[in-house]
Structure 1
Amino acid sequence: MFNNLSDKLDKAFHVLKGHGKITEVNVAETLKEVRRALLDADVNFKIAKEFTKRVKEKAIGQDVLTTLNPGQLMVKLVKDELTELMGGETVGINLGGSPTVILMSGLQGSGKTTFSGKLANYLKTKKTKQVLLVGCDVYRPAAINQLQVVGEQIGVEVYAEVGNNNPVEISQNAIKYAKANGKNVVIIDTAGRLAVDDEMMTEISNIHKAIEPQETLFVVDSMTGQDAVNTAKAFNDILNFDGVILTKLDGDTRGGAALSIKSVVNKPIKFIGTGEKMEAIDVFHPDRMAERILGMGDVISLVERAQEQYDEEEARKIQKKIAKNQFGFDDFLKQIQQIKKMGNMKDLVGMIPGAGKAMKDVDIDDDAFKGIEAIIHSMTPSERSTPSTINSSRKKRIAKGSGTSIQEVNQLMKQFNQMSKMMKMMQGGGGRKMMEMMKGMGR
């Protein structure tokens, strides 16, 4: 996420290394590189110019604090400005109304249908809402079927009217259905536009007027850069939407959309999509995103994800097993599943301060635990519950069954034994400490 921008900003700050005071000369040189980095990230020229001007005004003549060097002070100033550029504050979703009606808009291919499912899953699991997904894309072949597949995957009902080509009527009927069937959130997935054409924009405007949604969200593919910002402006002129959704932030995005869109349309970014899984949705926090761009990580979000997956009852059971030397590979497998639910490994590593930079050239597979899981699944139930019974001949069979080498099986056994000993030593730590150790094994 924003790797290229992060690298270039890091190089820009090296200009100030060794200076005892921030002066107009060394600031100008640094900010020239910062502006270049922003432009390379597809940020609008005017926005990049104004950004560096504000940083310069704050930086000139500032004495370096005793605990900081000029580079660190400049990083703080840039971090504060990046935060403001992306909205300053976290803006949540409006869940008022009975039911809450959320209208999704955006260009075709922006990931709107998939994100409708992610948002439904988020509201169902995090906010305990009864959600109804509504298929109003009456043009794209198999659009309704795609939404139904998504709905089935997350356990959310999908409302559709086969043969009805009037999206205004469908959306109005869906809201009536939601009221009659105890649904308190309605998410309406509209047809994606191939371009900002008058006919399609009039249609979504008519839907908007007819249903008066509590939230109108504009979904944009962050990989489209400055084009995304221009499209957002065109949609906002018609719909006056309430917030922006940035999808595909896990891709090789340059970041221009995330950095520019708030300044252009003056609407907050509310959510981001960070992967293909239905759980890959995050509330957008401008300050945390600024820290990630500058290589500071995002420890708060990492802790929040860990807390979401932390099972206190399961942790107690594991503590008892550790005390009795009964911790086995089945328990180990459960911990792997917990970590996998936290998100893709590359995203998690990026949240650790300094780790993103240190591992920028390392390809972290989303299936980082795949080999470990294959080895464990090739063991018999008795071997998983009593690892000490696994001898040389059993290791050969396990390696063959999992498609791995004996060396890999030995390595896993060694790590597992070391981890078991350490957990025994830190008995009071429970599940949280073990998850930290599991992350280390994933790396």
Structure 2
Amino acid sequence: MFDRLSDKLGKVFKKLKGHGKLTEANIQEALREVRLALLEADVHYKVAKTFIDRIRERALGQEVMTSLTPGQQVVKIVHDELAALLGGEAPRLELGGKTPVALMLVGLQGSGKTTTAAKLALYLKKQGRQPLLAPVDTQRPAAIEQLHRLGAEIGVDVYRSQPQQNPVALASEAMAAAVAKGHDVLLLDTAGRLHVDAPLMAELQAIKADVGPAEILLVADAMTGQDAVAVAQNFHEALDLTGVILTKVEGDARGGAALSMRTVVNKPIKFLGVGEKLDALEVFHPDRLASRILGMGDVLTLIEKAQDAFDADQAKELERKLRKETFTLEDFRDQLRQVRKMGSLDQLMGMIPGLNKIKGMKDMQPDEKELVRIEAIINSMTPAERANHVLIDGSRRRRIAKGSGVEVQDVNRLLKNFAMTQKMMKKMIQAGKKGGKRRFLPFGL
């Protein structure tokens, strides 16, 4: 979402770092370019002005003008101010107090509210909570069925509501059901409209008064840009929002909504929807997002994703196989599956510091389908072939290609690359023994 903004800011900072000594004129020119980049990214003009004024005040101060590395110092100031603009510290959900705690999700139709409710339920389940999903959008039977289907997919209970039922009474009944069944969180998926209207707000206000939610979270579509900020203002005036969940940030939106919303509405962004899968929900960390925007990567999020995706016992078993040089195609397939669980390849690449600065790297578009193709090829092999790829002769390669729907050349390329990987691992193991190293990372990290 922030690729274009990152590119423009990167060019500005590269020019700044080229000056051995910065002058007021250099800094003013750079700040004009930063302001233009923000406006082109659809950042609210008042937010952009305030942001630039704060940077100018610090950049023209002693901390930059007397610094031995003034260009780097300006980048640090921009990073700090960007993190502050986005909210400073990572916000948390209010889940304390009397249980069950009600969380109310609101937003316009099409913002991804129902899917986000399921994503949030899965997130809470992983945190050891026992959520209950309640579809309160009784005007759309399809939304009720969608939430039941998603609830079954993630193993979370969904309250059985009926179309045309009174939404306020339904929310109250769902709360009673949560109490009776021992759930500690109630997630209310409320109704949406194509546009903000008085009947919708009246309905949501009545639900709020009846249930008393600890959180009222606006689900906003990042693709709508400044319209999302205007929608947030309307919902906040009517309901006093406690936070925002920004969806579809993996798309090609210009990013202005994320940078503007925290300041304009004065409510924190608590989560980011980063994909279509139900586990594609990230806790919002302002400092980490600031680092990503400035091309500094996001190692902490990358590590967290790896910890979630890779099983510790499997990692130990893989290490044992690497040491004994018994790493097979089946192990290779399992590692690919683990990497895919971490998220899309382009997102993972964006978290690696400095990768976007390597010449030609930005033009490389990771092919997610290639991983699917590789897995299909390995799945078309027999267990014996996966255990010992040397058994795969010409006729077997043709059979595997036919079974996986690829060309024989694709099978040949996979086997060649795997053989090279085995040789590389063998050299790493030998170098580790000579250097006294005793630990190995899971393949693919």
- Normalised to the residue count of structure 2, the TM-score between the two structures is 0.93
Structure 1 match to 2:207: 207
Q: Which amino acid aligns with 2:414?
A: L
Partner residue in 2 for 1:54: 54
- Paired with 2:357 and 2:370, the residues of 1 have a C-alpha distance of 19
> Which amino acid counterpart does residue 318 of structure 1 have in structure 2?
L
Structure-2 change in CA distance of 1:429 and 1:176 (3 Å): farther
Q: Is the 8 A contact 2:269 2:284 kept in 1?
A: yes
Which amino acid letter does the alignment assign opposite residue 107 of structure 2? G
Q: 1:429 to 1:247 in 2, by over 3 A?
A: farther
1:2-22, CA deviations, whole angstroms, 9 ceiling, x for partnerless residues?
111111111222442432233
Query: How far apart, CA to CA, are the structure 2 residues paired with 1:308 and 1:123?
Result: 14
Within 2, Cα distance between the matches of 1:431 and 1:399? 33
Percent of aligned pairs with the same residue? 51
Q: How far does residue 357 in structure 1 lie from its aligned partner after superposition?
A: 5.1
Note closer, same or farther for the CA distance 1:259–1:156 as it changes in structure 2 (3 Å cut). same
Distance 1:385 1:64 in 2: 63
Of 137-146 and 14-23, the range deviating more from structure 2 = 14-23
Query: What is the identity, as a one-letter code, of the residue corresponding to 2:213?
Result: P
* Cα displacement (A) at 1:310: 2.3
**Alpha-carbon separation, structure 1, partners of 2:209 and 2:56:** 45
Partner of 1:312: 312
Matched with 1:103 is 104
Q: Does 1:123 align with 2:124?
A: yes
Distance (whole Å) between structure 2 residues aligned to residue 160 and residue 226 of structure 1: 36
Listed one character per residue, the Cα deviations across residues 230-283 of structure 1 (whole Å, up to 9, x for unaligned) are: 111111111111111000000001111110111111111100000000010000
Q: Does 1:28 align with 2:28?
A: yes
Matches within 5 A, 1:384-403: 384-403=386-405
Among 396, 419, 434, the residue aligned to 2:443: 434
Distance 1:375 1:327, change over 3 A: same
SS at match of 1:432: coil
Confirm whether residue 299 of structure 1 aligns to residue 299 of structure 2: yes
Would the aligned equivalents of 2:319 and 2:442 in 1 still touch at CA under 8 Å? Answer: no
Q: How many residues align?
A: 433
Residue identity matched to 2:371: F
Q: Decide whether the 8 Å contact of 2:233 with 2:265 is kept in 1.
A: yes
Moved more, 31-40 or 3-12: 3-12
Amino acid at match of 1:321: K
CA contact (8 A) 2:141 2:163 kept: no
Say whether the 8 Å CA contact 1:22–1:64 is kept in structure 2. Answer: no
The Cα offsets for residues 85-133 of structure 1, whole Å up to 9 and x where unpaired, read as 10011011111231121000111111111100100011112x0211110
Measured in 2, the distance between the counterparts of 1:86 and 1:39 equals 16
CA–CA separation in structure 2 for the residues paired with 1:83 and 1:317: 40
Tell me the secondary structure at the aligned position of residue 102 of structure 1. strand
Which residue of the partner structure matches residue 374 of structure 2? 372
Structure 1 range deviating more: 78-87 or 316-325:
316-325
> For residues 339-378 of structure 1, what are the structure 2 equivalents within 5 Å?
339-356=339-356, 358=358, 359-378=361-380
Structure 2: gaps spanning 5 or more residues: none
Aligned partners of 2:18, 2:311: CA distance in 1, in Å? 48
Q: Is the 8 A contact 1:316 1:430 kept in 2?
A: no
CA distance in 1, matches of 2:324, 2:307: 26
What code does the residue aligned with 1:181 have?
K
Structure 1 residues 273 and 368: CA distance shift in structure 2, 3 A: farther
Compared with structure 1, are the counterparts of its residues 18 and 161 closer, same or farther at alpha carbon in structure 2 (3 Å cutoff)? closer
> In the superposition, relative to structure 1, how do residues 268 and 85 fare at CA in structure 2: closer, same or farther (>3 Å)?
same
Q: Which residue of 2 aligns with 1:405?
A: 407
Judging changes above 3 Å, is the alpha-carbon distance between structure 1 residues 420 and 288 closer, same or farther for their aligned structure 2 residues? Answer: same
Kept after mapping to 2: 8 A contact 1:310/1:431: no
Q: Residues 222 and 239 of structure 1: is their aligned pair in 2 closer, same or farther, counting only changes over 3 Å?
A: same
Q: Which letter maps to 2:292?
A: R
Where in structure 2 are the equivalents of 1:329-344 lying within 5 Å? 329-344=329-344
**Letter matched to residue 282 of structure 1:** E
AA of the residue aligned to 2:179: K
Runs of 4+ in 1 over 4 A off after TM superposition: 427-431
1:186 maps to: 186
AA aligned opposite 1:114: T
Shift of 1:362: 2.8
TM-score by length of structure 1 reads: 0.93
Long gaps (5+) in structure 1: 437-443
Instruction: Tell me whether 411-420 or 247-256 shows the greater mean CA deviation.
Output: 411-420
Residues 431 and 373 (structure 1), Cα distance of their counterparts in 2 relative to 1, 3 Å cut: farther
Q: Deviations over 1:292-333 (max 9, x none)?
A: 011111011001111122212112323333444432222211
Paired position in structure 2 for 1:439? none
